[in-house]
Chains A and B, each alone.
Chain A
Amino acid sequence: MRNPDDGSASRGAVASFSATRLTSIVVALAAAALVAAPLLSLMRMALIGDADLWPHLAAHVLPVAAAQTAMLLSGIALVTVIVGIFPAWLVTTFQFPGRDSLQWLLPLPLAIPTYIAAYIYADLLDSAGPVQGALRAVLGLRTGDYWFPPIRSLGGAIFIFGAVLYPYVYLAARALFQTQAGAFSDAARVLGARPWRVFYDISLPLARPAIAVGVALALLEALNDIGASEYLGVQTLTLSIFTTWLNRGSLPGAAQISLAMLLLVAALIALERYGRRRQTGRSALHDGRLARRIELHGRTGWLAMAVCLAPALLGFFVPAGFLLREAMSRAVSGGFDLELLRHTLNTISLAAVATLAVLAIGIAAALPLRFVRMPVLLGCLAVASMGYAIPGTVLALGLLSPMVAIDEAINAMMRSFGGAQVGLLLAGSSAALVVAYTVRFASMSIGFVQAGLATLPHDLDHAARLAGAGPLRILRDLHLPLLRPALAAAALLVFVDCLKELPMTLLMRPLNLETLSTSIYQHATRGSFEEGALAALLIVAAGIFPVVLLIRLADAAETRRPSKGHRGRPGWRRRGRWYSPTAPLS
Chain B
Amino acid sequence: MFKRAPIAASIAAIIAVTAAAGSALAQAGDVNVYTYRETKLIQPLFDAFSKETGIKVNVISASSGLEQRIKTEGALSPADVLLTVDIGRLEDAIKAGISQPIVSPALDKVVAPQFRDPEGHWYAISMRARVIYASKDRVKQDAITYDELADPKWKGKICIRSGQHMYNNALIAAYIAKHGEAKAETWLRGVKANLAQKPAGGDRETARDVAAGKCDLGIGNTYYWALMMNNPEQKAWAEATKVVLPTFDGGGTHVNVSGVMLAKHAPNKINAMKLIEWLAGEQAQHIYADTNFEYPLRAGIAINPIIASYGALKPDSLPLAKIADNKKAAAALVDKVGFDN
* Residues of chain A having any CB pair with chain B under 8 Å: 56, 60-61, 64, 122, 126-128, 132, 142-144, 150, 152-153, 230-233, 235, 242-243, 245-249, 251, 349-350, 352-353, 356, 393, 396-397, 400-401, 404, 407-408, 411, 421, 423-425, 427-431, 434, 480, 484, 487-488, 506-514, 518, 521-523, 525-528, 530, 583
With contact pairs A127-B212, A525-B38 given, residues A353 and B13 touching in the complex (Cβ less than 8 Å)? yes
With contact pairs A247-B164, A249-B92 given, residues A424 and B77 touching in the complex (Cβ less than 8 Å)? yes
Look across to chain B and name the residue whose beta carbon is closest to the beta carbon of A349: B17
A527–B202 touching, CB < 8 Å = yes
Q: Shortest beta-carbon distance, A558 to chain B, in Å?
A: 17
B22–A122 touching, CB < 8 Å = no
A243–B205 touching, CB < 8 Å = no
A128–B76 touching, CB < 8 Å = no
Contact with A along B314-333 (1 / 0, CB 8 A): 00000000000001101110
Chain A residues with CB under 8 A of B209: 126-128
Binds A, one of B24-32, B103-111, B142-150, B275-283: B24-32
Binds A, one of B115-123, B124-132, B184-192, B230-238: B230-238
Since A233-B340, A393-B65, A507-B64 are in contact, a sample of 16 more A-B pairs with Cβ atoms closer than 8 Å, ordered by chain A residue number, is A152-B197, A153-B198, A231-B200, A231-B201, A247-B330, A353-B10, A353-B17, A425-B22, A427-B73, A428-B26, A429-B21, A434-B17, A512-B60, A522-B39, A527-B205, A527-B224
With contact pairs A152-B201, A233-B201, A522-B38 given, residues A513 and B24 touching in the complex (Cβ less than 8 Å)? yes
With contact pairs A356-B10, A407-B76 given, residues A430 and B17 touching in the complex (Cβ less than 8 Å)? yes
**Which of A480, A487, A510, A527 is B204 in contact with, Cβ under 8 Å?**
A527
A-B contact pairs, 10 of them (CB 8 A): A64-B341, A127-B214, A152-B200, A349-B16, A397-B68, A484-B2, A510-B21, A511-B26, A527-B202, A583-B1
Find the residue from B63, B72, B205, B212 having the highest chain A CB count within 10 A.
Answer: B63
Look across to chain B and name the residue whose beta carbon is closest to the beta carbon of A396: B65
A507→B72 CA distance, assembly (Å) = 13
Chain A residues with CB under 8 A of B270: none
Chain B residues with CB under 8 A of A583: 1
Chain A residues with CB under 8 A of B213: 127, 142-144
B17–A509 touching, CB < 8 Å = no
B78–A428 touching, CB < 8 Å = yes
Look across to chain B and name the residue whose beta carbon is closest to the beta carbon of A411: B76
Chain A residues with CB under 8 A of B328: 247-249
Contact with A along B5-29 (1 / 0, CB 8 A): 0000010011011101110111000
Give 8 closest A-B pairs by Cβ, nearest first: A233-B200, A143-B213, A429-B21, A128-B212, A247-B331, A527-B204, A60-B335, A511-B58
Question: Please, how many residues of chain B have a CB less than 8 angstroms from a CB on the other chain?
Answer: 73
Chain B residues with CB under 8 A of A61: 335
**Which of A142, A143, A401, A408 is B76 in contact with, Cβ under 8 Å?**
A408
**Which of A427, A525, A528 is B234 in contact with, Cβ under 8 Å?**
A528
A421→B203 CA distance, assembly (Å) = 45
B62 within 8 A of partner (CB):
yes
B38–A526 touching, CB < 8 Å = yes
**Which of A233, A350, A507, A512 is B69 in contact with, Cβ under 8 Å?**
A507
Look across to chain B and name the residue whose beta carbon is closest to the beta carbon of A60: B335
A226→B63 CA distance, assembly (Å) = 12
Contact with A along B30-51 (1 / 0, CB 8 A): 0010000011110000000000
B2–A56 touching, CB < 8 Å = no
A245→B66 CA distance, assembly (Å) = 13
Look across to chain A and name the residue whose beta carbon is closest to the beta carbon of B16: A349
With contact pairs A243-B164, A511-B78 given, residues A235 and B224 touching in the complex (Cβ less than 8 Å)? no
A-contacting residues, B289-335, CB 8 Å: 327-328, 330-332, 334-335
B251 within 8 A of partner (CB):
no
Q: Shortest beta-carbon distance, A478 to chain B, in Å?
A: 14
A61→B205 CA distance, assembly (Å) = 25
Interface of chain A: mostly helix, strand, loop or mixed: helix
Look across to chain A and name the residue whose beta carbon is closest to the beta carbon of B196: A144
Chain B residues with CB under 8 A of A245: 64
Look across to chain A and name the residue whose beta carbon is closest to the beta carbon of B330: A247
B198–A152 touching, CB < 8 Å = yes
Q: Shortest beta-carbon distance, A129 to chain B, in Å?
A: 8
A122–B205 touching, CB < 8 Å = yes
A193→B170 CA distance, assembly (Å) = 66
Chain A residues with CB under 8 A of B327: 247, 249
A510–B24 touching, CB < 8 Å = yes
Chain A residues with CB under 8 A of B252: none
Q: Shortest beta-carbon distance, B248 to chain A, in Å?
A: 21
A525–B336 touching, CB < 8 Å = no
A511→B32 CA distance, assembly (Å) = 8
With contact pairs A249-B92, A349-B17 given, residues A528 and B162 touching in the complex (Cβ less than 8 Å)? no
B74–A408 touching, CB < 8 Å = yes
Look across to chain B and name the residue whose beta carbon is closest to the beta carbon of A508: B69
A126–B14 touching, CB < 8 Å = no
Chain A residues with CB under 8 A of B205: 122, 126, 152, 527
A507–B198 touching, CB < 8 Å = no
**Which of B166, B197, B338, B340 is A150 in contact with, Cβ under 8 Å?**
B197
Look across to chain B and name the residue whose beta carbon is closest to the beta carbon of A250: B328
**Which of B26, B199, B224 is A233 in contact with, Cβ under 8 Å?**
B199
**Which of B24, B331, B338 is A248 in contact with, Cβ under 8 Å?**
B331
B59 within 8 A of partner (CB):
yes
Chain A residues with CB under 8 A of B330: 247
B229 within 8 A of partner (CB):
no
With contact pairs A247-B331, A353-B10, A512-B58 given, residues A230 and B162 touching in the complex (Cβ less than 8 Å)? yes
Look across to chain A and name the residue whose beta carbon is closest to the beta carbon of B77: A424
Q: Shortest beta-carbon distance, B5 to chain A, in Å?
A: 14
A512→B20 CA distance, assembly (Å) = 12
A528→B141 CA distance, assembly (Å) = 30
Chain B residues with CB under 8 A of A400: 68-69, 72-73
Look across to chain A and name the residue whose beta carbon is closest to the beta carbon of B39: A522
B242 within 8 A of partner (CB):
no
A56→B334 CA distance, assembly (Å) = 12
B166–A247 touching, CB < 8 Å = yes
**Which of A152, A153, A423, A507 is B78 in contact with, Cβ under 8 Å?**
A423
Chain B residues with CB under 8 A of A513: 24
Look across to chain B and name the residue whose beta carbon is closest to the beta carbon of A143: B213
Chain B residues with CB under 8 A of A423: 25-26, 76, 78
With contact pairs A231-B201, A408-B74 given, residues A507 and B62 touching in the complex (Cβ less than 8 Å)? yes
B286 within 8 A of partner (CB):
no
Look across to chain B and name the residue whose beta carbon is closest to the beta carbon of A483: B2
A62→B331 CA distance, assembly (Å) = 14
A446→B314 CA distance, assembly (Å) = 60
A401→B41 CA distance, assembly (Å) = 30
With contact pairs A144-B213, A247-B166, A356-B14 given, residues A488 and B68 touching in the complex (Cβ less than 8 Å)? no
Chain A residues with CB under 8 A of B100: none
B169 within 8 A of partner (CB):
yes
A-contacting residues, B209-245, CB 8 Å: 209, 211-214, 224, 227, 231, 233-234, 237
**Which of B25, B68, B231 is A424 in contact with, Cβ under 8 Å?**
B25
